[in-house]
Structure 1
Amino acid sequence: MKKYLLSLFAIISPFLTFAQEAQEMGIDQKIDKIFGDLTGWFVTAIFYQIPFTDEVSVYWVLFPLIIGATYFTFYFNLINFRGFWTSINIVRGKYDDLEGRKDHKVEIAKSPFTDEDDNPDTIRVEGHEGEVSHFQALTAALSATVGLGNIAGVAIAVSIGGAGATFWMIVAGFLGMASKFVECTLGVKYRDIEDDGTVYGGPMYYLRKGLKSKGLEKLGKILAVLFAIFVIGGSFGGGNMFQVNQAFQLVESITGGNESVLHGKGWLFGVVMAVLVGIVIIGGIKSIAKVTDKIVPFMVAIYVAAALFVIFANIGMVGDAFAQIFNGAFSPEGVAGGAVGVLVQGFRRAAFSNEAGVGSASIAHSAVKTRYAASEGMVALLEPFIDTVVVCTMTALVLIITGNVTSANAGLNDAQAILLTSGAFESVISWFPYVLTIAVVLFAFSTMISWSYYGFQGWAFLFGRSKKMEYAYKLIFCVFVVIGAAASLGSVIGFSDAMIFAMMVPNMIGLVLLAPKVKKELNKYMQAIKEIKK
């Protein structure tokens, strides 16, 4: 461990110097402009907006995400509602007996879990222990989605779309549960497990192996490579640089803004974060899961508890708040774009927050200890519920109750929106902005370590699974932590954000084509539950 940390310091040092000089000389702005000129076409293509009315334009990426989620909801007979309590019971460990086996090394010929669709890799996986528990897989994936989008994104959504945007956010959250179920079931079904127990999974694998099993081998390979490229790019920007950059801006603001002792010292914040991230990610998914299964529940509990305090302190206004949410969803007044604008804002923020259909979460969930792929899909459907239906709704209620839903705030960026949410909490809990600052830093930290795992899985898929390749990626990732905190590379972050949503294109194609395989896995698991209940 010491050797790797020394290597980390050695590699970070020259970039640290560059970051300082960049801030002083404006080099980062020049780099940003050149990069923006080169990649602007890609960002424009991914975030192209289809005009609906004079005031409303819709990102085209929302259509496959929402239409796909709606299709899966009905194809799986409302699994997002029907399977909710089963999912809770799986996380509680009620069905752990189904995973019990005397010998993890199940022989292919004697495997009781085989079926006609299984290939040898899948059979071997179903007889293998995996790396993390259902709960750890859930928290590892949640740590990558619960974060700035829940705090800043909601504030932006209700500022533009009014209270009614909350209603459509909740609807999109419920629909997204079905997409998460499908992609995470496939993540487990088609994962690879090395002899040492290390798991490699995610869309790269189910696109390649799953589509091959349907006679679409060439298409599967192309989509898998595209996804791997996109997830690597997304991990460096949206899953890293953006997180640390926004966290530092809030820390700097809360400690005095331009008068803060940290003003202009983003590089220092970046180095501290890079070292902490490096210590965790060097240990792999087990190490990441051990951190996230402690941080995530703690963060969510603190945030929700504070939101509930604000809500109960203003209990007389709750009824009116829900009335605003419902009425605003169907008959908005004074909101740009009317009803369509409200719906778009709600769906957009939900999709951007929980990433259902993007495919990223299936990478973390694929490492779970299970022999039933659908069991982890059931666990995964809780993610959009926690992320969007619970946490985002809590944030929206606080903003509505405290009177912070106003079109005057519609032009806020993420960092300013966090301060708006912080101010809403402060109006009831005077000291909460300091707690929220710590929470945001922890949110950013947990998001970064989870996205490092996502990016590494794409990296390993393209460049091999050697230790040299592994540590090369992890060291590069830590370097980007420093750059993200110190430099103002908006185009770089914009490009990587576009790559995150570009992941949706190959992933959604695979999900629709492989849905029958998921239904077969679900039926197998539900039959096993029926047997254990007898």
Structure 2
Amino acid sequence: MFSRALVGLLALVCAGTALAAEPTAGLDAAINTAITPFANALSGVIFYAVDIGGVKVPLIVGWLIIAAAFFTVRLGFINLRGFGHALRLVRGDYSDPNSTGEVSHFQALATAVSGTVGLGNIAGVAIAISIGGPGAAFWMVLAGFLGMSTKFVECTLGVKYRQTNADGSVSGGPMYYLRHGLAEIGLPRLGRWMALAFAVCCIGGTLGAGNLFQINQVYQQMVNITGGAGSVLAGNAALFGIAWAVVLGLVIIGGIKSIAKVTDKLVPFMAVLYIGSALIVLLTNAAHIPDAFAAIFNGAFSAEGVAGGVIGAMIQGFRRAAFSNEAGIGTSPIAHAAVKTDTPVTEGFVSLLEPFIDTIVICTMTALVMVVTGMYTQPGMSGVELTSAAFGSVHPFFRYVLTASVVLFAFSTQISYSYYGLKAWTYLFGESRAMDVSFKLLFLVVCVIGCTLSLDTVVDVSDAMFFSMGVVNIIGLYLLAGVVRTDLATYWKRLQRGELKLAAAAAQ
């Protein structure tokens, strides 16, 4: 399945210019006309903003960052003291092959990372830097560091309250820990309603942020790389989307085990490809790297900025980091719930690595490339087009490397989000083959539609649907934080006494 998918992707990239069909400009315009009012209304609610120092600050961003800071303190800076143990867990030092679950620690991490490492790392960072200036990168990294603690809480709960189905498969995530976890602390009715609300938001979020945004930016990059407005792809968005959906369907039909087999190979490859390319760009501009770090730090605290000085840089950085690493949104616990473990806290440790890889490493690399090349100041460009110009400023060949990264990042995100949405769908409508197939078909249809939308519309819909999940999820995390803290204290004592190492050795 993995080889077929990669072959299909390669064929799609190489043969993109060969696609031919009647222009779909009329369809594009019709879809934009229908969705734009909805996008504007939804964004107005989710991103309700207050004026601080002349800058509009979306309350949802503060909601996520304050929660991340709270969990960091509440758990005694677990994002620092648990980092080394997380690496040992991923390496398999404490694994028991007989534990309940479907995938290994590494496969669960790879699946979750494939969902977080998407075009937010490429297009989203470019948007943040172009609006908020270099200082946005500083706040992005800080948000990623704090978000590691939020991941610990939600992914521990995702495993603790997961459900094992009759066929041996596992279902988990906020739907289950909101319902069952809150029932345990005496809030069953609230838990049921919150689980229902999250599931509805999750379906919208996965179709928006994990599908619409990803395929839209892939299509835009393919048009740019094959000739821009004169490309044969221009005006044939729907046809491109259909071809992409066929390839995507080859993987997602197989479920979490098929997805995990793809992501545990795809994620390391695409990370090496992208980071390696970024390093070459940075080495080519090595003389500008000290100035870039100075611009990032000074821009983070300077009253003078591209849009609103320090507040503008902070909000853009926090917003893009939250979009990229998803800490507090509630998607990653769905992937981590499938892990083979009988000790939920272990997956909390593993999940610490997600924001580190996604935001602190990959987003920072993108930000540095944007700053050292100076492309973030170029007018008339946005999103992936801006990042492509930054890479291409070193050598035209790197535009093609970035295109390959865009394809891989988007594809990996979509296959993970298809699983997230599926679990929310089956939570609402029941676990059955019919429900499984119906959601996957819906996901593929939305993939086709995503190609036809403009960037502004896609960003508005994606961000609003995506962040709506965090409103419900964070409330549940606050209420259940004490449960996680108790489990962590018990686990830490067992770890220090050497009990976990002995148990793992006995299981091998």
Instruction: Give the TM-score normalised by structure 2.
Output: 0.90
Displacement of 1:484: 1.9
Structure 2 unaligned runs (5+)? 2-20, 503-508
Displacement of 1:51: 1.4
Relative to structure 1, the CA distance from residue 28 to residue 159 in structure 2 (aligned partners, 3 Å threshold; closer, same or farther) is closer
* Alignment-derived partner of residue 307 in structure 2: 336
Give CA deviations for 1:38-77 in whole Å, capped at 9, x if unaligned.
56433310022221133x1111111110000000000000
Q: 1:356 aligns with which of 304, 327, 331?
A: 327
In 1, Cα distance between equivalents of 2:442 and 2:293: 46
Contact 1:155 1:420 survives alignment (8 Å): yes
Structure 1 unaligned runs (5+)? 2-19, 105-127
1:430 paired with 2:396, answer yes
In 1, Cα distance between equivalents of 2:457 and 2:396: 36
Out of 517-526 and 241-250, give the one that drifted further: 517-526
Out of 171-180 and 271-280, give the one that drifted further: 271-280
In 2, Cα distance between equivalents of 1:477 and 1:246: 17
In 2, Cα distance between equivalents of 1:235 and 1:379: 23
Give CA deviations for 1:474-523 in whole Å, capped at 9, x if unaligned.
11111222222245597577345312111011100000000111112222
Contact 1:177 1:383 survives alignment (8 Å): yes
Q: Equivalent residues in 2 for 1:160-309 (5 A)?
A: 160-309=131-280
Give CA deviations for 1:155-206 in whole Å, capped at 9, x if unaligned.
2222222222111111111001001110000000000011322110000000
1:52 paired with 2:52, answer yes
Relative to structure 1, the CA distance from residue 499 to residue 334 in structure 2 (aligned partners, 3 Å threshold; closer, same or farther) is closer
In 2, Cα distance between equivalents of 1:189 and 1:428: 48
Letter in 2 for 1:494: D
* Alignment-derived partner of residue 4 in structure 2: none
Cα RMSD over matched residues?
2.1
* Alignment-derived partner of residue 444 in structure 1: 410
* Alignment-derived partner of residue 16 in structure 1: none
Identical-residue share of aligned pairs (%): 56
In 2, Cα distance between equivalents of 1:470 and 1:489: 30
Q: Equivalent residues in 2 for 1:399-410 (5 A)?
A: 399-406=370-377, 408-409=378-379
Contact 1:35 1:492 survives alignment (8 Å): no
Displacement of 1:337: 1.0
Contact 2:24 2:237 survives alignment (8 Å): no
Contact 1:358 1:504 survives alignment (8 Å): yes
Contact 2:277 2:401 survives alignment (8 Å): no
In 2, Cα distance between equivalents of 1:307 and 1:94: 32
In 2, Cα distance between equivalents of 1:446 and 1:302: 14
Q: 1:510 aligns with which of 476, 487, 493?
A: 476
Displacement of 1:129: 2.3
SS of the residue corresponding to residue 484 of structure 2 reads helix
In 1, Cα distance between equivalents of 2:473 and 2:450: 28
SS of the residue corresponding to residue 383 of structure 2 reads helix
Displacement of 1:299: 0.8
* Alignment-derived partner of residue 466 in structure 1: 432
Relative to structure 1, the CA distance from residue 74 to residue 473 in structure 2 (aligned partners, 3 Å threshold; closer, same or farther) is same
* Alignment-derived partner of residue 490 in structure 2: 524
The number of residues matched between the two structures is 481
* Alignment-derived partner of residue 68 in structure 1: 67
Letter in 2 for 1:85: G
Contact 2:23 2:235 survives alignment (8 Å): no
In 1, Cα distance between equivalents of 2:282 and 2:453: 38
Contact 2:31 2:453 survives alignment (8 Å): no
In 2, Cα distance between equivalents of 1:487 and 1:403: 28
Q: 1:134 aligns with which of 105, 109, 127?
A: 105
SS of the residue corresponding to residue 341 of structure 2 reads coil
Displacement of 1:295: 1.1
Displacement of 1:138: 0.8
Contact 1:22 1:487 survives alignment (8 Å): no
Displacement of 1:421: 1.5
* Alignment-derived partner of residue 122 in structure 2: 151
1:33 paired with 2:33, answer yes
Displacement of 1:21: 8.4
Give CA deviations for 1:12-39 in whole Å, capped at 9, x if unaligned.
xxxxxxxx88935x35534543444456
Displacement of 1:312: 2.3
1:310 paired with 2:276, answer no
